[in-house]
Amino acid sequence: MRVMTWNLWWRFGPWEARQKAILGGLRDLRPDVVGLQEVWDADDGNLAEWLAGELGLHAVYAPSHAPERWQRRIGDPGVGMGVAVLSRWPVLEQATLPLNAPADLDDGRLALYTRLATPSYEVPFFTTHLTSASYGSAVRVGQVTALAEFVRAHRGDTPFPPVITGDFNAFPDSDEIRLFGGRVTAPPVPGQTFYDAWQYADPGAPWATWDPANPYVAPGGFPPARVDYIHVGPPGPDGLGRVRAVRRAVDGPVEGVWASDHTAVVADLAGPGEADD
């Protein structure tokens, strides 16, 4: 099963050209399920629903509960922002979790849960977008604590481990990422731990998902960072859901256009009978 996470940079920059590049990137990768962040919703269409229609996938969209700060940045109060899941399989159920933040940082971040009906098992799949302030680590700690509890409430009885994707806006050694994984510090939910899929990457592979090589990132003068994640629970029976491979993706122009200010992350997870292939 191929899973993917990607922040699509909402309606910033040359968004009409980027829309086509986003579609091209997804079409080349052919993921089974995708967690998307910064998805736009406007009178002229919802980006996730459009992508799903073009790719023959199912789509679930969760709108931000406080998009006003985003709208002021582009001067358009008619464009919504949210997160979404695209899935090759039908979505059996869904739920949304607003993520708390103090008033000066609250711009409507949230998490989305979907339960996917594959032919062999149900997959609990989540995507999220955490607060981005560089000084917001303590806020993100609260958000990942709520996220961990959200996963516990919805993981259900299925042999496939929960998969949690998203733009966590945090470095791998940060308090919030260590806390969420629960493997180097006590987890928010006792007994519930997750693997950062990037632990299975080629050590020499490009790793920055926020990369100054990207022309949308370079003007800010920021160093490279890995802030986008695929987290997976411990494998199920016979290694079901084990990370087989992971890499950065869509990390260059698509037909001359950079699709987003973030690169995507793609992981291949073991299905039935594939754990040891």
Residue 167 lies in a domain: yes
Count of CB atoms within 10 A of residue 222's CB? 12
Whether 274 is covered by a domain: the verdict is no
Q: What is the CATH number of the domain that holds 198?
A: 3.60.10.10
Asked if 26 and 51 count as a contact pair (C-beta separation under 8 A), the reply is yes
Domain assignment of residue 121, yes or no:
yes
- Is it the case that residue 275 has pLDDT exceeding 70? no
* Domain presence at residue 62: yes
Q: Is the pLDDT of residue 276 over 60?
A: no
**Rounded Cα gap, residues 243 and 25, in angstroms:** 22
Helix, strand, coil distribution of the chain in percent, nearest 5: 25, 30, 45
In 10 A of CB 18, how many CB atoms? 21
- Pairing relation of β-strands 110-117 and 264-269? unpaired
Give the DSSP letter string of 41-93.
EETTEEHHHHHHHHHT-EEEEEE-S--HHHHHHHT-TT-EEEEEEEESS-EEE
pLDDT tens column, 46-73: 999 999 999 999 999 999 999 999 999 9
- Whole domain around residue 45: which residue ranges? 2-269
Could you give the CA distance from residue 136 to residue 61 in angstroms, rounded to a whole number?
26
pLDDT on residue 203: 95
- Contact call for residues 55 and 27 (beta carbons, < 8 A): yes
Q: Please report whether residue 149 resides in a domain.
A: yes
- 199-254 pLDDT, tens digit per residue, is 999 999 999 999 999 999 999 999 999 999 999 999 999 999 999 999 999 999 99
CB contact set of 131 (below 8 Å; sequence gap of 6+): 99, 101, 105, 107, 109, 139, 140, 143, 169
Dihedral over Cα of 25, 26, 30, 35: its sign: positive
Query: Does 275 fall in a domain?
Result: no
pLDDT 10s digits, 193-205:
999 999 999 999 9
Global pTM value: 0.97
Q: State residue 145 phi and psi, 5-degree precision.
A: -65, -45
Nearest to 94 by CA among 138, 67, 63: 63
The confidence band for 272, taking pLDDT boundaries of 50, 70 and 90, is confident
Look at the chain and report how many structural domains it folds into.
Answer: 1
Identify whether 249 is part of a domain: yes
Q: Residue with structure tokens 């006003």?
A: 68
Residue 96 has pLDDT above 70, yes or no: yes
Q: What is the mean pLDDT of the chain?
A: 96
Is 129 part of a structural domain of the chain? yes
pLDDT more than 90, % of the chain: 97
| Interval 123-175: pLDDT, tens | 999 999 999 999 999 999 999 999 999 999 999 999 999 999 999 999 999 99
Distance CA 172, CA 178 (A): 7
Q: What is the pLDDT of residue 273?
A: 63
Residue 277 is predicted with a pLDDT of 46
